[in-house]
Chain A
Amino acid sequence: MGTYVLRRLLQMIPVFLGATFLIFYLVLGMPGDPLASMCGERGCDPATAVALRAQFHIGEPLYIQYYEYMKGIVTFDFGETFSRRPVLEVMRDAFPITIRLAVVAFVIEICIGIPLGLLAGLRRGKFFDSSILASTLLIISVPIFVVGFLMQYYLGIKLGWFRPTVSGEAPWNELLLPGIVLGTVSLAYIMRLTRTSVVENFHADYVRTATAKGLPRRRVVTVHLLRNSMIPVVTYLGADIGALMGGAIVTERIFNIKGVGGTLFQAITRGEAPTVVSFVVILVIVYLVFNLLVDLLYAVLDPRIRYA
């Protein structure tokens, strides 16, 4: 177990370096003067230009630029935005909001997706199952921004159940509607995954054994069937956390939320390299850590899996 975790942590290093270098290259290394794309058509004011050149070692080879930038990040020096605000401060504002938003979406996915998927799987071929399959397919097919508009319009404006836009502090109750929108597509996938997995395991030997032992049906379903069916679902959920944090771009835009997605999108369109690279560094770390956690969870769910 210890060796396994160590090996995985070591494997993370090249992936981390590769992914951050890829983004670094896209932001700074593409042909042309990076300052031109960073400052837009008006051009940087001279002070900013000098600061940016110094910060990114522009003019030197890309790998040196990357090395210097990473050296700063290790000491939590993430650089500054164009308005000379430390990126660390920007992140401190944005991440809590998006984490709250992701938690809302995540809780909705788990609390609705898994039970409904389980029920559909247990009633395979029945009306309930077919309607779950059809409705999830429909949800997946409708783009998230259409879902967002419709929910914002009908639930937020027409019925007035929720606030249609989110205020600066983004408290939990205002994030409920955006959280639902953000979680819808994943919710549909979770239902389908749970349903398929339950159907597959329904006739497994251990389920038959548990039933034959005379265990109550509730126990057979929850402890034996559901637990063993969770592996693909947990895999999806683990990958989804990263996607929820970084992919909230659309949702945050619709509901005017100043979280990671909103800030990041603004930074990308402005070409604000320090902000973009720093945010992506954090997102990649989040993705890698949750991936490892998911792999460790497998052994909890299925004791047959051992780590060596």
Chain B
Amino acid sequence: MPNPTNPAKDVLPSGDYGPATLALDVGSVPGGAPTPDGIGKPRSLWTDAWHDLRRNPMFLVSALLILFLVAVAAFPGLFTGTDPKFCDLGNSAKGAGPGHPLGFNRQGCDIYSRVIFGARASVTVGILVTTGVVIIGGLVGALAAFYGGVLDSLLSRLVDVFFAIPLLLGAIVFLQAFPFRNIWTVVAAIMLLGWPQMSRIMRGSVISVKESDFVTAARALGASDMRILTRHILPNAIAPVIVVATISLGIFIVLEATLSFLGIGLPDSTVSWGGDISDAQSSLRSAPHILLFPSVALSITVLAFMLLGDAVRDALDPKLR
């Protein structure tokens, strides 16, 4: 009696990832540990994937783009000498001019500089939320799958509870409960309802790996639960989580921008693409360039993470080989 509630529910954004596909590779060395003889050594899932990735132009383009974005986020001063918060109303909504390649927004701030400095908010929120969600969701999912029984039922119901509330809605209600706004409240708000998806994926993946022969072997050798879970199961079960995490990073960035757009995300003092897009709304008819540039920057960032996720999935999914 197949329980229809579980298999298909973990629908991912680009959805073609079944955790079960990974089971094909579990015969190789768990975690890609090196073997003594170099010749004919079994290639692990990870070496195989890396081998594929290096030759995938989509991966190279998106990885370079992400490296560039991270550099911009970390050192915006290297890319522009203009202060994003220096605004002169005399320049309001002006087009491009010397030293100001993208023109000015309605308050007369330099758009290029604001686009550069806005990267930090998006990239930071994306990375922090994804890390947190992978840790919390991964832990809950792995424990539920590994121990099963009552713990599994309890944790799965908990996941259901958080799943029943739409992500954006929950984040808005959460943010409204705080008297102040900063990057941490935004991160916490998105994490609060973002972890269940990771948990479901991790759970499915661990369940499919748990029954492998090498787990039985490790158990027979007297390995502790902790060691089996961390050294044998997790390295072989984490692949789908990584794929979804990469794609979700893009979605979390959009979510942050949406919250800032609604005026309850990052405070106005933080330069962010979402906030700038929201401000540009009123001058869409007279000066569309104000809306254009932050939107393009945001879209390219999200696209880069989506492409990376797609490339990683293709590399990790043996079915496509």
Footprint of B on A, CB under 8 Å? Answer: 8, 11, 14-16, 18-19, 22-23, 26-27, 30, 32, 37, 137-138, 140-146, 149, 153, 157, 189, 192-193, 196-197, 200, 231-232, 235-236, 239, 242-243, 246-247, 249-250, 253, 264-265, 268-269, 271, 276, 280, 283-284, 287-288, 295, 298-299, 305-308
Pick from A27, A145, A265 the residue with the most CB of B within 10 Å. Answer: A145
Pick from B4, B250, B319 the residue with the most CB of A within 10 Å. Answer: B4
The answer on a CB contact under 8 Å between B172 and A265 is yes
Within the complex, the shortest CB–CB distance from B40 to chain A, in Å, comes to 31
The answer on a CB contact under 8 Å between A287 and B179 is no
A196–B313 Cα gap in the complex (Å)? 13
B1: nearest chain-A partner, CB-CB = A308
Q: Which chain A positions have C-beta within 8 A of B2?
A: 305-306
Query: Per-residue CB proximity of B252-285 to A under 8 Å, as 1/0?
Result: 0010011001101000000000100110010011
Majority secondary structure, A binding face:
helix
Q: Which chain B positions have C-beta within 8 A of A16?
A: 164
Q: A22-B161, A264-B169 in contact; A250/B258 too (CB < 8 A)?
A: yes
A30: nearest chain-B partner, CB-CB = B177
A192–B309 Cα gap in the complex (Å)? 14
Q: B287 an interface residue at 8 Å Cβ cutoff? A: no
Query: Per-residue CB proximity of B153-168 to A under 8 Å, as 1/0?
Result: 0000110111011111
Q: Which chain A positions have C-beta within 8 A of B169?
A: 246-247, 249, 264, 280, 283
Q: A142-B295, A145-B261 in contact; A192/B5 too (CB < 8 A)?
A: no
A308–B9 Cα gap in the complex (Å)? 18
- Contact among A196, A200, A253, A271 for B14, CB-based, below 8 A: A196
A137–B250 Cα gap in the complex (Å)? 11
- Contact among A15, A200, A235, A246 for B160, CB-based, below 8 A: A15
The answer on a CB contact under 8 Å between A189 and B172 is no
- Contact among B15, B176, B291 for A271, CB-based, below 8 A: B176
Instruction: List 15 extra interface pairs beyond A26-B177, A193-B15, A246-B166, CB under 8 A.
Output: A18-B157, A19-B162, A137-B303, A137-B310, A138-B299, A140-B250, A145-B257, A146-B291, A192-B15, A236-B11, A269-B176, A283-B165, A287-B164, A305-B2, A306-B2
Q: A143-B257, A307-B4 in contact; A26/B173 too (CB < 8 A)?
A: yes
A261: nearest chain-B partner, CB-CB = B169
Pick from A26, A157, A269, A295 the residue with the most CB of B within 10 Å. Answer: A26
Q: B237 an interface residue at 8 Å Cβ cutoff? A: no
Within the complex, the shortest CB–CB distance from A224 to chain B, in Å, comes to 19
Contacts A/B (CB < 8 Å), 22 sampled: A11-B160, A14-B157, A18-B157, A18-B158, A18-B164, A23-B165, A23-B173, A26-B173, A30-B178, A37-B176, A143-B261, A143-B295, A145-B277, A145-B278, A192-B15, A246-B169, A247-B168, A249-B169, A268-B172, A283-B165, A295-B4, A298-B4
| Contacts between the two chains (Cβ within 8 Å), count | 166
Query: Per-residue CB proximity of B7-36 to A under 8 Å, as 1/0?
Result: 011010111100000000000000000000
A214–B167 Cα gap in the complex (Å)? 48
Within the complex, the shortest CB–CB distance from A106 to chain B, in Å, comes to 16
Query: Per-residue CB proximity of B301-321 to A under 8 Å, as 1/0?
Result: 011001100100000000100
A284–B166 Cα gap in the complex (Å)? 9
A213–B23 Cα gap in the complex (Å)? 34
Within the complex, the shortest CB–CB distance from A15 to chain B, in Å, comes to 4
The answer on a CB contact under 8 Å between B262 and A250 is yes
Q: A265-B172, A268-B176 in contact; A243/B166 too (CB < 8 A)?
A: yes
Q: Which chain B positions have C-beta within 8 A of A307?
A: 1, 4
Within the complex, the shortest CB–CB distance from A225 to chain B, in Å, comes to 16
